[in-house]
Structure 1
Amino acid sequence: MINGLIGLAVLCLTLPYLWFQWGLAIAALPMLLLPLVANRRWWLAALWLLMAASLLLRLETEASHVLPRHWQHDTAELQFCLSQPAQVFDRYQRFTARVIAQPEALSLRRIRLSAPSSVVIEAGDCVNAEVRLRQPVGQRIPGNFNATRYYFSERIDALGTVVEVLGHESRPNLVVRRYQRAESQLDDEWVRAVWAALALGWSTSMDTELADLFEQNQIKHLMVVSGMHIAMVAAWALLLARLIHRLPGPWRGRWPQLRLLMVVTVCGLFVALTGFGFPALRAWLMLLVPLLAMLLGVRLSGHQTLALAAIAITVVRPQAWLSTGSWLSFGLVWIMIRLYQRWRCEPIARWQLALRFQAVLSMLSLPMAALLGFQWHPLSLLINMLVIPVVTLLILPWSLLILLWPEMARLGYQPVVSAMINGLDWVAAWHQQAPAWPLPDILLLGSLLWLALSHWLNRDQRWLVLPLLALPLIWPGRLTSSNEFRLTALDVGHGSALVLQWPDQTWLYDAAGQWSDGTAIAEARLAAWFKRHRIQLNGMVISHSDIDHAGGAQWAADYWPGAERFSGEPQAVARLSERSGWLNCHQADSTQLPFQLIAIPIALRNNDNDRSCVAVVETSAGRVLITGDASRRLEYWLLQAHPELFPFSVLVLGHHGSRTSSAPAFLDASPEALLLVSAGDRSRPRWPNADLLSYITRNDRALFNTAWSGTLALQVQQGRWQIRDWRSAFRRRFIRN
């Protein structure tokens, strides 16, 4: 028999994910089982059904605000206001704004925008601008951060690019005015960013280098207004309540009511001051539930308190459980409750108890980092032991006092925070990238750690678990290759990264591009995917030297130094990758390779795109053709020079589906071929081009685009192609197939 409260919480925790991942119909299926699970308690079944139905209705209502499909890449006049500063990069700035005026056909609430760095936009400004709109859908690489789910959980209904600013005025609210008063007292930009994050919850506008510094030391959670900040404010509220309780008045003898009123009111005012950021609001709700239970005289277990908090959070924001932060916060509180139940009877001092909690959380941070892709520091226990007391007992209270009296910053706040940042910068050198383990390994390690720490084993038996912790290190690698052939087109935005796998070999065709700051997308986004699947390359082909194909060449050559290397522009790629040994794919002997490299005549190789390596893969399901950025001229040459290769069963279209490639005659020569495009959803709809899309519609051809579907995997099984993607039902709903 399932407890009614726990069952209701389970519904709140699971239904949003089912709805997001598999759609309304699948999410509604568990409702049919609720009467059976309720075990003839019809009133409980009715309550569960009512909650489930209202939750699904709320989710549908939330989704109705998302930018409709037909508005994709259209321009609209919007008026929006910034509640915190923009995050500024070299050539552009990025910020999230509240939409206050828009066309009648839209109902956007928040929008994530980018604008040129030359546009002056500050916190508290309201801007009227022409904005090119895009749907809030991010790149999808299995196992990596899911940007689409994050946008929906944060109520970001559209992405956009500011095309032209039509009007601009300053409307600072109370929070922005407090920030402007304190800003003049803090000269150092990083110190000011730390203060704004702690006192106002402005962590998203923090400089990326500073944010990376906190993440590398595993203390980024301290810069988000959440449970720690609410607990500090609650402690202040309790102190204030004690002082008031000693004064004569009607509150004498009403300590429980006064305590509740002060904590709820003061913490609520702080949450309002930080703009009702959801991490702070979530922490406030988790504090409010046990306080109300105490006031009403209701005795709740730790699990029941968490269940009620989960229900309250769901009522306020039903999509909250699509956020990683909510699960982390909820899970850590659950762990702390379980550990407290085990340790509360032991005769240890409070400081020892706090040290134990921090040690456990530091150990469990390793599987969490592997699961979520966070960076990990081997000295995280020591760093947290030193930094948490400093931030909690000194810098955070000081930051809140500066919020009330900006002159308090003159009393040495800046040197103290600067010293902390310099210390973190020094120890950050030892940080490690998140261990990219497969999910079974992560679950195994996490379970073993919890088993060693839990009360299920006696102290004398726990040492037996320690040797088992080495299992994830010796666990057999995952069989990622197909029995025949598998092609994986990784979703890298505008660029290309194709993984070609045979039973005995794996090759990489192109290594994606770079971001505006020069960071290789392959290193930032794909490294974890390769590690997780334990892929060792036998070789790589960089089609040509364009940065959207060769941006990760240096990383790939360094990561797999023994792999064979080919390129259509070997000298240019050698300079780009700072590594010699690149062979010209147009002069290579491919008889020993698992695929054929087509030698393009030198007379036709008169530009970067037409120097692209052209690869042909033979499979039992037909041939695969990969042409890089080759133009229509090379496509016509292939038709004339190699008619024996046609028809192909899979065509990876050249130049991301632009007008320079994919000639109709070339496509007609493989009428049954699956067409694959590796492209990105950029601010202008250029890939695939409109003529190609019209051809696809007229001829009823199958076109697969990573910008629509995310990462795509094509695998040969019993002589036929099997296609898989990792799209959620939410993504399918808003992005064309």
Structure 2
Amino acid sequence: MRLGMIALCCGLLCLRFLPVLPVSACLLLAAAGLGLLLSRLYPLGLFLLGVAWAAGSAQLALDDRLPVELDGQTLWLQGQVVGLPEQGDGVVRFYLQQAESRRAPLPQRLRLSWYGAPALAAGEVWRLAVSLKRPRGLVNPHAFDYEAWLTARRIGASGTVKAGERLSMAGGPASWRDNLRSRLLAVQARGREGALAALVLGDGSGLDDADWRILQTTGTVHLLVISGQHVMLLGSLLYALVLGLFRLGWWPRHWPWLPCACALAMFGALAYGLLAGFEVPVQRACAMLAVVLLWRWRFRHLGIWLPLLVALTLVLMWEPLASLQPGFWLSFAAVALLAWCFSGRLGTPGGWRVLVHAQWAMALGLLPLLLALGLPVSLGGPLANLVAVPWVSIGVVPLALLGTLLLPLPGIGSSLLWLAGAQLELLFALLGWLAERVPVWQFAAAPWWAVVLGLVGVLLALSPRGLPLRLCGGLMLLPLLCPPLPRLSSGLAEVHQLDVGQGLAVLVRTRSHALLYDAGPAGRGFDSGEKVVLPMLRGLGVRRLDLLLLSHADQDHAGGAAALLAGLPVERLLSGEVQALRLSRSAEDCRDGEQWQWDGVHFSTWRWQRADNPNDGSCLLQVEARGERLLLTGDIGEAGERHLLASGRDLRADWLQAPHHGSRGSSSAAFVAAVAPRAVLLSRAWHNPFGHPHAAVLARYRQAGARIYDSARHGALRLLLGRRGGAEAARTQTRFWREK
């Protein structure tokens, strides 16, 4: 039985690692699996069935995406708002379900943004004019994969609302959750009404950026927004309540306490899950809790690993796409670690030492998985969770839930919520103090063998005392914490054009130096400096920047600079538009003709000092490695190009960053002819509102014989300057969920 479930789970988990879906072979795999089930090779048969089931389920999600011909089109549609709309920074983000349009069939689930939206409520039906896009996101190594996130939630399209009209008001259970959120946000709870809504309803939109930063730095996000932990926590509290009453002799003798405790725990968890909208993480926790309670009631003699295996099988069979979410791996790994550390051992610690031991196990045991998933590691997380877990579990959550339940009683419910808010205010003060002193850390990306070695190492380190080679577990973590990073030869430069959407960020590395040209855009709800540039720099092993050069002060080029300065040491800051920058430190003015050399690589700048607009005043950078040149041009237009040509400078370059994202007013014929690029790097957003790049500009480059590398089509780009080769595109690394 166990072997069969392990084989089935392995087949289901294969989905996460498939480059393409074996759709045409699914029926063959299923037939082969059914055939092998009747033989001695039944584990192989279950494995094939798992692969076929997962691939078929994923294909249904891909088939439900927006048709290609409607990508980027604006059309009128009608649908119902589901879930709680998220409000912040002047934009409302919400899900629309069962959307219909006269022009074509639409995906069942859409994720929409509406700037300056009227009040929206769950359960309302709206008629909307929406600019729709197929699921597509930025593709960068070591950064968040938005396309995988959309696919895991079976979102067939995203879009921006242009106009709309409400067709019917909210009603039913959906509106009840929305009304409850409004009541919670209206309660006076020491300014922590948003955190209470997050704990009770799973709605994190009431937490501001500073709150999120504190939670992420201290590794306590899982405590303040409903997750599987909260569901398991409530179930455990209700179970412990019945057990305590029984041991005190206060439980009715004619009621068997164990089945009642299990039933009450399950009922409470389901009710809490419904409050939270019963999203996939909550479904996963409820399934796990149901299996554990059933095991505790009837099948305890079969061991602790069986319920975990059954829960894993049920979750993956119900939603195979769950394996695309980091939370899936972390939640099951956390439970497995606790089982590994506490089950079947002599001398298990008691009292407060259990909590200390558990936090140590989580901090060490989840480390390889966090690094494999490219997630940051909170160095203060163990200490923060040691305080925050019992604080939230025992002090805040029961008060918040009881206060919510008693809100209809004047004064009572609001008083309990005030007490819960006061506790949260004090907790945030402590976590903020810790966050200022202990940073979050993202290690350089490690090879797969180091991750496997690290997993074996933590299992050894957390094994019972006296086990041979136990002390070697810590040594096996060293390749994971200090991965071997390739070093460039002298005279070569590694260039990365990051995929930051409608903006620019280019990293240039030599053997021992690093330079960043522009920092990407920042806007409502998204800072590419924080979300894209910093994670990628850290994943590549860049711990400091020798130079941050901002071509000019436009938000699409300098918007991410503040996050970079806060998250990474920067030795020198240079800009072509110093006065317009709003940063925590002053920048040096970019001077025309400045030159320097790092590790045999030559750098030089150019700037039109008297340009009559910021774009033409961009600071340009030329990089030359072993005779191969790269020219980074910021946002200069035709006027700036003419002035550059008149300067008499040798503009020939093998690689050219297309000026101003390929706009119509740039890349003049004379400029292209003078540069004579072998290849052009283009940085822009898919379906951007400016129409970049212009068709005439692309035709000009193609006529010159240049190959065009487009971040919107290719993702992040990497080239080795000095080798005269091509560029590697991140989007060519095939993933079944990734748009081509």
**TM-score interval for Structure 1 and Structure 2 normalised by the shorter chain:** 0.7 to 0.9
Distance 1:476 1:701, change over 3 A: closer
Secondary structure of the residue that 2:121 maps to in structure 1? Answer: coil
CA distance in 1, matches of 2:608, 2:414: 72
The match for 2:93 is: 94
CA distance in 2, matches of 1:194, 1:555: 25
Any idea what the Cα deviations from partners look like across 1:78-102, whole Å, max 9, x if unmatched?
Answer: 3344444433333323333434434
The match for 2:463 is: 454
Contact kept, 8 Å, 1:137 with 1:148, in 2: the verdict is yes
- For residues 317-466 of structure 1, the aligned pairs below 5 Å read 317-341=319-343, 343=345, 345-346=346-347, 348-349=349-350, 352-364=353-365, 379-406=380-407, 407=409, 408-431=412-435, 432-440=438-446, 443=451, 448-455=457-464, 458=466
Once the two structures are overlaid, the 10-residue window that deviates more, 665-674 or 171-180, is 665-674
> How much does 1:173 deviate?
2.8
2:622 paired residue among 616, 622, 626: 616
1:659 paired residue among 650, 661, 664: 664
Asked if 1:531 corresponds to 2:538, the answer is yes
> How much does 1:113 deviate?
2.2
The match for 1:281 is: 283
CA distance in 1, matches of 2:38, 2:625: 55
Q: Which amino acid aligns with 1:429?
A: W
Once the two structures are overlaid, the 10-residue window that deviates more, 420-429 or 153-162, is 420-429
2:601 paired residue among 575, 589, 594: 594
Secondary structure of the residue that 1:391 maps to in structure 2? Answer: helix
Secondary structure of the residue that 2:440 maps to in structure 1? Answer: coil
Q: Which amino acid aligns with 1:676?
A: L
Contact kept, 8 Å, 2:651 with 2:675, in 1: the verdict is no
Secondary structure of the residue that 2:414 maps to in structure 1? Answer: helix
The match for 1:49 is: 48
CA distance in 2, matches of 1:624, 1:94: 40
2:693 paired residue among 688, 694, 697: 688
> How much does 1:727 deviate?
5.0
Distance 1:41 1:58, change over 3 A: same
Q: Which amino acid aligns with 1:509?
A: Y
CA distance in 2, matches of 1:700, 1:587: 29
Any idea what the Cα deviations from partners look like across 1:676-721, whole Å, max 9, x if unmatched?
Answer: 1112246626222354456678999643222333211122575422
Secondary structure of the residue that 1:164 maps to in structure 2? Answer: strand
CA distance in 2, matches of 1:681, 1:731: 20
Contact kept, 8 Å, 1:94 with 1:113, in 2: the verdict is yes
Once the two structures are overlaid, the 10-residue window that deviates more, 213-222 or 1-10, is 1-10
Q: Which runs of 5+ in 2 are unaligned?
A: none
Q: Which amino acid aligns with 2:212?
A: A
CA distance in 2, matches of 1:297, 1:84: 37
CA distance in 2, matches of 1:642, 1:349: 79
CA distance in 2, matches of 1:526, 1:702: 25
The structure in which a higher percent of residues are helix is: 1
The match for 2:679 is: 674
Once the two structures are overlaid, the 10-residue window that deviates more, 473-482 or 75-84, is 473-482
Aligned-pair RMSD on alpha carbons?
4.3
CA distance in 1, matches of 2:241, 2:566: 58
Secondary structure of the residue that 2:522 maps to in structure 1? Answer: coil
Distance 1:334 1:426, change over 3 A: closer
Distance 1:39 1:398, change over 3 A: same
Secondary structure of the residue that 1:720 maps to in structure 2? Answer: coil
Secondary structure of the residue that 1:606 maps to in structure 2? Answer: coil
Q: Which amino acid aligns with 2:128?
A: A
CA distance in 1, matches of 2:370, 2:357: 20
> How much does 1:412 deviate?
2.8
Q: Which amino acid aligns with 2:6?
A: I
Secondary structure of the residue that 2:156 maps to in structure 1? Answer: strand
Contact kept, 8 Å, 1:144 with 1:372, in 2: the verdict is no
Asked if 1:316 corresponds to 2:324, the answer is no
CA distance in 1, matches of 2:535, 2:83: 32
CA distance in 2, matches of 1:27, 1:149: 23
Secondary structure of the residue that 1:548 maps to in structure 2? Answer: helix
Asked if 1:126 corresponds to 2:125, the answer is yes
Distance 1:591 1:601, change over 3 A: farther
Secondary structure of the residue that 1:412 maps to in structure 2? Answer: helix
Contact kept, 8 Å, 1:499 with 1:509, in 2: the verdict is yes
The match for 1:212 is: 213
Q: Which amino acid aligns with 2:552?
A: H
Secondary structure of the residue that 1:172 maps to in structure 2? Answer: coil
CA distance in 2, matches of 1:522, 1:107: 34
Contact kept, 8 Å, 1:557 with 1:579, in 2: the verdict is no
> How much does 1:498 deviate?
0.8
The match for 2:6 is: 6
Any idea what the Cα deviations from partners look like across 1:138-183, whole Å, max 9, x if unmatched?
Answer: 2232112222211111222222111112235421332532552574
CA distance in 2, matches of 1:355, 1:78: 54
Q: Which amino acid aligns with 1:427?
A: L
The match for 2:585 is: 578
The match for 1:114 is: 113
CA distance in 2, matches of 1:551, 1:558: 13
> How much does 1:42 deviate?
4.1
CA distance in 2, matches of 1:71, 1:403: 44
TM-score, normalization by structure 1: 0.83
CA distance in 2, matches of 1:181, 1:560: 42
- For residues 554-569 of structure 1, the aligned pairs below 5 Å read 563=571, 566-569=574-577
Distance 1:365 1:464, change over 3 A: closer
Q: Which amino acid aligns with 1:50?
A: L
Contact kept, 8 Å, 2:231 with 2:286, in 1: the verdict is no
CA distance in 2, matches of 1:591, 1:482: 11
- For residues 264-275 of structure 1, the aligned pairs below 5 Å read 267-275=269-277
Secondary structure of the residue that 1:687 maps to in structure 2? Answer: coil
> How much does 1:6 deviate?
1.0
- Aligned identity (percent) is 23
Distance 1:56 1:642, change over 3 A: farther
> How much does 1:52 deviate?
1.9
> How much does 1:655 deviate?
0.7
Once the two structures are overlaid, the 10-residue window that deviates more, 43-52 or 460-469, is 460-469
CA distance in 1, matches of 2:164, 2:698: 32
Once the two structures are overlaid, the 10-residue window that deviates more, 292-301 or 214-223, is 292-301
CA distance in 1, matches of 2:569, 2:216: 29
Distance 1:621 1:81, change over 3 A: farther
CA distance in 2, matches of 1:39, 1:405: 57
Any idea what the Cα deviations from partners look like across 1:636-690, whole Å, max 9, x if unmatched?
Answer: 56667669644x4322111112222233565467777322111224662622235
Asked if 1:194 corresponds to 2:195, the answer is yes
Contact kept, 8 Å, 1:566 with 1:582, in 2: the verdict is yes
Asked if 1:499 corresponds to 2:507, the answer is yes
CA distance in 2, matches of 1:698, 1:502: 33
Q: Which runs of 5+ in 1 are unaligned?
A: none
Contact kept, 8 Å, 2:201 with 2:226, in 1: the verdict is no
- For residues 78-89 of structure 1, the aligned pairs below 5 Å read 78-89=77-88
CA distance in 2, matches of 1:50, 1:651: 50
Distance 1:458 1:481, change over 3 A: farther
Contact kept, 8 Å, 2:672 with 2:704, in 1: the verdict is no
Secondary structure of the residue that 1:321 maps to in structure 2? Answer: helix
Secondary structure of the residue that 1:106 maps to in structure 2? Answer: coil
CA distance in 1, matches of 2:24, 2:489: 31
Contact kept, 8 Å, 2:143 with 2:531, in 1: the verdict is no
CA distance in 1, matches of 2:571, 2:349: 56
Any idea what the Cα deviations from partners look like across 1:392-436, whole Å, max 9, x if unmatched?
Answer: 234323333344432352343213322322332233232244312
Once the two structures are overlaid, the 10-residue window that deviates more, 311-320 or 707-716, is 707-716
Contact kept, 8 Å, 2:545 with 2:571, in 1: the verdict is yes
